[in-house]
Amino acid sequence: MSRATPAPPRAATPAPRRAGLAPRRARLTPPWAALGGYAATRLLGLAVLAVAAAATGEDGPHRLMGRWDAVWYTRIAEHGYGHEVTLPSGAVHSDLAFFPLFPALERALAAVLPGVDAATAGLLVSWAASLAAAWGIYAVGAHVTGRRRTGVLLAVLWGVYPTAFVQSMAYTETLFTALAAWSLLALLRERWILAGLLSVGAGLTRPTAAALVAAIGITAVVTVVRERRLRAPVAAGALLAPLGWLAYVVYVGVRQGSATAYFEVQAAWGNSIDGGVALARFIAGLPWPAALGLCAALGLLAWLVVLCVRQRQPLPLLVYTVGVVVISLVGAAYFGSRPRLMMPAFGLLLPPAAALTRLRVRTAVPVLAALALASAGYGAFTLLGSGPP
């Protein structure tokens, strides 16, 4: 009696790709290379600042935690909201322009660490958040490309961004970027509720969270349309995403007795949305060599956005990146702040990171070292000069 020939095993059917999401990757690998490389860039920046400050007789640490926006955050942490400054022009700058999560963390850390004041706590919060941001950026890069090395290079490139010196200051860029990066990673892994909760934190940190809210919302809509059904986690994540930003806008409105109070506060700071009119006027008022150079820089920015599209970045990352860029350009804010405002758009650095991945280590390392040194020098020059707005 002959045996029946067993049927060959069926090949596993790949899971359908979700709308706008990258395919699932292996679990997160240790981020030590990314964190080490990123930390090296920031330590170099601090070392160059210390040397330059000593040579010029300036107080380097004070520039990191005791000037510009850092002073406003410290005041909020110590005394709460309610401080205003009237400028000679008559414009009123209110501390309600600053979102609450960062000063809340300053206050909490100063309360639990003996001998640490709110200003120093702000620096510690920013530094810890910078490492969390570098880890999240690494994780997103590795997830999207499937290559750890690209994730490492992406994190290091974020550390040598031209205005990366802000990452060493008691500013909110690192905290916001950390929350945004981990929210995007959760979204790419279809952990919708976690993505929404992290977006709530981002919305309590910076107004730029509108870009993250858009990324989650648009991805949710595309997912529902393609799946032809609404899953509870998708709806929950999309509904949670804007709550942090909305909560603070409502708080300012109730406190000031006007539904548009938050936007009026921002307008008093010169941060109203004008569609890019202020930027165009700024360029038109420059000497032609400077205007030409600035236009070239904007052209490079546009080319990076095109490369992100051609790289077929996942929908959430692409929407977030473009959203941060657009928000940074369409406001009437002081031009010098725009590169800093765009710094959380780490997706712009993914095409250069992918290009560096193709180079040999002995070539990539000197390139990164040169960029780190240039970034550190520019940071020391800026901090010891007029500084960030």
Residues 6 or more apart whose Cβ sits within 8 Å of residue 331: 271, 272, 273, 274, 278
- Coil/strand/helix, residue 93: strand
DSSP letters, 280-333, are HHHHHTS-HHHHHHHHHHHHHHHHHHHHHHHTT--HHHHHHHHHHHHHHHHB-S
Residue pair 339/126 in contact (Cβ under 8 Å)? The answer is no
- CA-based Rg of the chain, rounded to a whole angstrom? 23
pTM (2 d.p.): 0.91
Question: Six-digit token pair at 341?
Answer: 């405002």
Determine the Cα–Cα distance for residues 131 and 251; give it in Å rounded to an integer.
31
DSSP code at position 164: G
The whole-number mean pLDDT for each consecutive block of 10 residues of the chain, a chain of 389 residues, reads 44 39 49 95 96 92 90 96 89 94 97 94 97 97 94 97 95 98 97 98 97 98 95 97 98 96 91 82 86 92 96 97 94 78 96 94 93 96 86
Determine the Cα–Cα distance for residues 344 and 192; give it in Å rounded to an integer.
21
DSSP letters, 242-277, are THHHHHHHHHHHHHHT-TTHHHHHHHHTT--B-TTH
Specify the pLDDT at position 29: 57
Residue pair 74/106 in contact (Cβ under 8 Å)? The answer is yes
Residue pair 101/205 in contact (Cβ under 8 Å)? The answer is yes
DSSP code at position 231: -
Query: Torsions phi, psi of 273, nearest 5?
Result: -85, 125
**168-199 burial, b if ≥16 CB within 10 A, otherwise e?**
bbbbbbbbbbbbbbbbbbbbbbbbbbbbbbbb
Q: Which amino acid is at 196?
A: G
